[in-house]
Amino acid sequence: MAVSQVSRAATAPVGFMQSDRMVLALLALLAVAVRFITYGNPALGFDEQFYLLVGDRMVQGELPYVDIFDRKPIGIFLIYAGIRWLGGEGFVQYKLVATLFVIATAWLIYLLARQRAERFGAGLAAALYILWLNLMEGEGGQTPVFYNLLVIGAAWQLFAALRAPDRLVPRGALALLLIGLALQIKYTVVFEGMFFGLAFLWLAWTQRMAWGRLVAFATVMVALALLPTALVLLYYWGVGEADAFIFANFSSNAYKENGSSLVQLFKLVELSALFLPLGVVAVVGHRAIRDKMVRPDGQMVRLWLVASVLGVLLYWRFSAPHYAIPLLAPLCVLLAPALDARPRLGAAIAALALIAGQVVQIQLAAMKGGDAAMRAVAAAAKPDRGVIFVYNGYPGLYLLTGSPLPSRWSFPGHLNTQDENNPRALGVDPLVETRRILDANPDAIVDTFPAYALGNRETRALLHRVIAERYRPVLCVATRDRTRVIYRQKREAWPVDLSACRPEVFAPVKP
């Protein structure tokens, strides 16, 4: 079996992958090429627009959780605040920085996979990571795009300790510090962090580490994993806002709804379908994977993948495919021997993923709108001297229009979705906050049609009552799934273009 695998691997098209440096260059070229279509689209992802908005406000001196509410750890906002120092509007800049993270992550996948596979299989495994991101809303700057690099950095330390256990303690300490940093980008990393901590302890036990040292080692790893979060909490305590930090990062999550279990199960099935082609590789090349699995590093890769799967399942949110991106890194490392054994199948799946990823990006731009659509909305919504209110639509409009934020709760989903319709989850009653915003008479209101099926009916009814009394539509921008509508106050003399408006714009939903 081993001879036949080597023979097949030798016939793989590896002429263009003659060195590790060449592989790195090819991975970088691939990452830029497949993500290039997204660089000029500021409407790419609503979450990312909001991260950029918070980063921009941080540069201006505002404080997350105090001046602007969200539940994400501060690390993702610090990354975007750093990106704002690069200049420009930030939309292209954050995508370029995200691309660098993707390249670095793919490179570490290659290096880990190279320990279990030939150069072709390892290189193809890293390429599949890059390609699959475009199928899972990872084409921009979602949180896993950033924290996956830190997680795989921790994996690198673990596998290095497997090969050379004499450096076990410093490698374990560094690995858990990396996990601690990743936790400040997304707390769901805790499950992978627990795996790495236990793996290092198991390795220490196999090396017959004394019980006293083992306990000390475990204590140090836990402390380092918690250190970044503790430092952030200490900062907020120092400025008198510890309660705001604790509520946003921990307490509020207990009261946020995730939709019905039936809907989540349906979305889980959809999400699982995205991994079917990679599952085919695993099934067809299972013998090659099994042969490598008997080694300690093979077992660790499998357990790492199991920990990642458990983390995704226990989080129990499948409404967007990016929630499962953490599975990609361990899965791609695991598949490397199979890709060596079945190079043509792997290459064919990579080619299909490349094409499908570009089609997905074109479809997403048609659904959400592209640069022209978002800038048209921004031009019509630009405030004179006041603020705008994006009830539903692009969070990045606050950046493009230069508008101050009308509320601490400026991510549209906080006030316009039924899942968030709970004062204990937000720290404010969405209806009360929406009324307060509307009472301040924002210069422009942005909404979308048709109405979101899982939207907050109370805030939407209030919005339409106010619009009927004091506002009029001045522009509709149609995308494939929705129409973006900009309303301005009736007393304003504003150019009106209603040619793209849907009929429901003129017949708002009644309470």
Span 452-496, pLDDT tens digits: 878 899 999 999 999 999 999 999 999 888 899 999 998 877 788
C-alpha 221/C-alpha 499 separation (Å) is 61
- Domain end, chosen from 335, 365, 395, is at 365
pLDDT tens-digit profile of 244-255? 999 999 999 888
Largest CA distance in the chain: 81
Instruction: Specify whether 172 is located in the same domain as 102.
Output: yes
Structural domain including 117 reads 14-365
Residue 7 is assigned to a structural domain of this protein: no
Query: Same structural domain for residues 276 and 418?
Result: no
Same domain, 359 and 376: no
> 95-123: per-residue pLDDT in tens?
999 999 999 999 999 999 998 888 999 99
The answer to whether residue 409 sits within a structural domain is yes
Question: Residue 2 falls within a domain, yes or no?
Answer: no
Separation of alpha carbons 312 and 290, rounded Å: 25
pLDDT under 70: residue ranges of the chain: 1-17, 259-260, 291-295, 504, 506-511
Number of structural domains the chain divides into: 2
Instruction: Looking at the structure, tell me whether residues 168 and 314 fall in a common domain.
Output: yes
Q: Are 370 and 45 in contact (CB under 8 A)?
A: no
Looking up tokens 């937000």 gives: 426
- Strands (DSSP E) found in 223-378: none
pTM of the entire predicted model = 0.92
Is there a single domain that holds both residue 377 and residue 334?
Answer: no
Is there a contact between 23 and 110 (Cβ–Cβ < 8 Å)? Answer: yes
Give me the DSSP letters along 12-77: SS-TT--SHHHHHHHHHHHHHHHHGGGTT-TTS-HHHHHHHHHHHHHHTT--BTTTB--SS-HHHH
Q: Please check whether residue 370 is in contact with residue 43, taking contact to mean a CB–CB distance below 8 angstroms.
A: yes
| Residue that terminates a domain, selected from 365, 398, 432 | 365
Q: Give the separation between CA 138 and CA 414, rounded to whole angstroms.
A: 23
Do 388 and 348 fall into the same domain? no
8 A C-beta contact, residue 120 and residue 49: no
Q: Are residues 378 and 282 in the same domain?
A: no
For residue 121, the surrounding DSSP H or E stretch is helix 119-133
Cα(387)–Cα(381) distance, integer angstroms: 9
Q: How far is CA 399 from the centre of its chain?
A: 20
User: Does 359 share its domain with 454?
Assistant: no
Residue 8 domain flag: no
